[in-house]
Structures are given as C-alpha cells and as structure tokens.
Structure 1
Amino acid sequence: MTERLLVRALKGGENTKIVTLNGKKITKMPSTLDKLPGLKTLVLQNNRISKVCPEISTLTQFQNLKLKEFYCEANPLFLKQPVNAVQQEDAWSLQEITSRFIMNELAGKNPFIMHVIEQHPQVRNIISQRRKCAICGKYFLTIWLECVEFVPPPKNWKISRNLQLVPLQILICSYKCFNQRGPNLFGIAQV
C-alpha cells in the first residue's frame, strides 16, 4: 500500500504537492522525497520513523523554502529521555561578575549605576547583549545553559490535532537555576 502511494506520487513528479503516509507503520522516511521538487505538504504522522532522512534537507532549504507543511507527530523522532550530566559550577570571569551586577542593578533602577552607564558607551554596548534567565529572572552575559521546555502550542497555530507539545528554547544562567527547573524542562546536550 505504501509503495503504491509513493509510486503514484513519483509519477506526478513536479506536480505532486501533497504526500500523505500517516499510519502506514513505516520505519524510515522515503529516500525518494528529493525527486518531488514541487512537494508542499508531507504527512508522516503515526509511523515508526526514528530519524529524519538527509533527502528532506533538499525540500526545506531556507533560501527557497519549498516544503510548507510537515507533520511528523507520533513518531519516535524526538525522545524525551533524560541523561545525567556532570554539573560543575563554572568560574565566572571578572567581566561576567561585573556585568551581572551592573545589569541587575539597572533592572532595579539604581540611579547611581544608571548615571554612570550614560557616561560609558562601551559598557552599554557590552550589556546590550544580555540575556534573562528563565528560572531566576536575573540577567547574564556569557555563561549559560541551553534548555528546551515542552509546552502546549498556542491556540492560534494551524497545526495537527495530534500535536500536544512543542519544544521551546530556554536559557538558564547557571547550574544552580538548572537544578530548580520544572519537570518538563530538559538541558540540551550533544550525545
């Protein structure tokens, strides 16, 4: 059945706009996807696909973004499996310590610090690249942990009914804050 659907899609060539293979128990993405340059919608929900095939990159090139919709829910593409990591506190540089102090004083509207910052444009330039910790709400400059939190998608998104959670990038200032995270927030690591 799956093969017949693919053969029919391939016969359409450039004119094939939609390929729907949901619930077909396939274990990998069809490698023939790159032979469908006009493909706009790819539906691969409810299968057993564990990784994205290299051919999909030809359909999602950012300069001409051919593929407009890609549905892959209920596949084991993204596994939420926690991995224990060695958590060591980083030694902050003097610039990081000073920047954090200044940025958090500015957030508290300290008039002395605000006046001094007006006199030093190079300091303003440095602290303009600040980030805010998602846990403690304090500002930091260079030392941080990249995390992902799985949240329900906004109601105004046009999505599949099966999509229950989407990944959201979260930045955290230290392992101290990371250890205070909620149960649905995970650190990102290269494994």
Structure 2
Amino acid sequence: MTERLLIKALSGGKNTKIITLNGKKITKMPSAIGKLPGLKTLALQNNLIPKVCPELCNLTQFQDLKLREFYCEGNPLFLQWPEIAKQQENVWSLQEITSRFVINHLAENNPFLMDAMEWYPEIRSIISRRQTCAICGQYFITIWLECVQFVPPPKNWKISKNLQLVPVRVLVCSYKCFTQRDPNLFGIARV
C-alpha cells in the first residue's frame, strides 16, 4: 500500500504537492521525496521513522520555505539521551584570531581599520564569510559548533496543533559560549 502511494506520488513529478503516509508503520523516510521539488506538504505522522533522510534537507530548508507543511509527530526522531560535550580548548589559527578582532572592531567603525581595508582588499574576502554567534552576538569565521535550537513556529505556518517547536540551525563561536547556552539549544555531534 505504502509503495503504491509513493509510486503514484513520484509519477506526478514536480506537480506532486502533497504526500500523506500517516500510520503506515514505515521505518525509513522515503528518500524518493528528494525527487519532488514541488512538494509542499509531507505528512508522516505515527510511523516508526528514527531519523530524517538527507534528501529532506533539500525540501525543508525552513528559511526558503519550499516545504510548507511537515507533520512528523509520533515518530522516534530524537534520541532520548543527550550526549555530554567534553570541554575543548579553543585553539584558533592566527587568521581566525585576527579576523575576529578585525570584524568585531569594524562593527564599531574603528577608523584605523576602515582605512586598512582600503589597502588590503583580500581582508574583505575573508571577513565576508563571517557568521554571528547565537550566544554572544560576536562575529567569527570558523564555526566552533553547529547547534539546533527549538523555537515556536511562525504564526503564518500551517502546522499540526501538536507541533509547538521547530528546529532552527544556529552557530556557536566557542565552548565558552556553548556553556552559557539556553536550555533549548543543543549541539549537533556525530556519535
């Protein structure tokens, strides 16, 4: 039954807008959904899916809102036991240290650094890759840790009434900031 529904959805190609596979006891998220760029609604509630397939990332970049509705309640998608992060010394390269200093002082409109930028255009290229730490708000180049934070979904999203939080990718610049995080912010690690 599940296979027939999936084959029918795939035959629709980019015109397929909705896939509903609720309560089908599937144990793996169908990777074929990556072939459906027009998909707007994916309902996979009450199955046995332990992890999100990589193909879904192309459709669920929440910032782009390609997939407008995603229902996954009733699946064991999250581990119940958090992994404890071991403290690591922040050993940054000289380029990272210098980049952080320059970027954070440029934000203060430091005239000395503004003039130096005129003479060294390669600095602009390096600092254009800057990111902002979700904890301290400072700029950095090299990501220390990629995290996920669970936040309430925007009001204009069509979602299940049971879904109260959605995961959002955030970046942290150091272990020091990671230890000062909000309780709804979790580090992503390969275990």
In 2, distance between residues paired with 1:98 and 1:53? 38
State the shift of 1:153 in Å. 0.7
Question: Aligned to 2:148, what secondary structure does the other structure show?
Answer: strand
Gapped runs of 5+ residues in structure 2?
A: 60-66
User: Which residue of 2 is the match for residue 185 of structure 1?
Assistant: 185
State the shift of 1:159 in Å. 2.1
User: Which residue of 1 is the match for residue 120 of structure 2?
Assistant: 120
C-alpha spacing 1:120/1:19, structure 2 compared with 1 (3 Å): closer
User: Which residue of 2 is the match for residue 103 of structure 1?
Assistant: 103
Question: Aligned to 1:91, what secondary structure does the other structure show?
Answer: coil
State the shift of 1:53 in Å. 7.0
State the shift of 1:168 in Å. 0.7
User: Which residue of 1 is the match for residue 63 of structure 2?
Assistant: none
The amino acid across from 1:89 in the alignment is E
In 2, distance between residues paired with 1:28 and 1:46? 11
User: Which residue of 2 is the match for residue 50 of structure 1?
Assistant: 50
Deviations 1:80-129 (A, max 9, x none): 63101222112111111111111111111111211221221111211111
Q: How many aligned positions are there?
A: 178
In 2, distance between residues paired with 1:154 and 1:11? 33
In 1, distance between residues paired with 2:68 and 2:134? 31
Q: Confirm whether residue 165 of structure 1 aligns to residue 165 of structure 2.
A: yes
The amino acid across from 2:46 in the alignment is N
In 2, distance between residues paired with 1:27 and 1:143? 36
The amino acid across from 1:28 in the alignment is T
Deviations 1:58-82 (A, max 9, x none): x9977xxxx8854222311123631
C-alpha spacing 1:49/1:96, structure 2 compared with 1 (3 Å): closer
C-alpha spacing 1:165/1:116, structure 2 compared with 1 (3 Å): same
C-alpha spacing 1:52/1:189, structure 2 compared with 1 (3 Å): closer
C-alpha spacing 1:97/1:61, structure 2 compared with 1 (3 Å): closer
C-alpha spacing 1:118/1:80, structure 2 compared with 1 (3 Å): farther
In 2, distance between residues paired with 1:11 and 1:114? 59
How many percent of aligned residue pairs carry the same amino acid?
A: 61
In 1, distance between residues paired with 2:29 and 2:122? 53
In 1, distance between residues paired with 2:189 and 2:21? 32
In 2, distance between residues paired with 1:77 and 1:154? 22
User: Which residue of 1 is the match for residue 91 of structure 2?
Assistant: 91
User: Which residue of 1 is the match for residue 175 of structure 2?
Assistant: 175
Let me know the Cα RMSD of the aligned residues. 3.6
C-alpha spacing 1:152/1:112, structure 2 compared with 1 (3 Å): same
TM-score (norm 1): 0.74
Asked which structure has the greater CA Rg, the reply is: 1
CA contact (8 A) 1:99 1:140 kept: yes
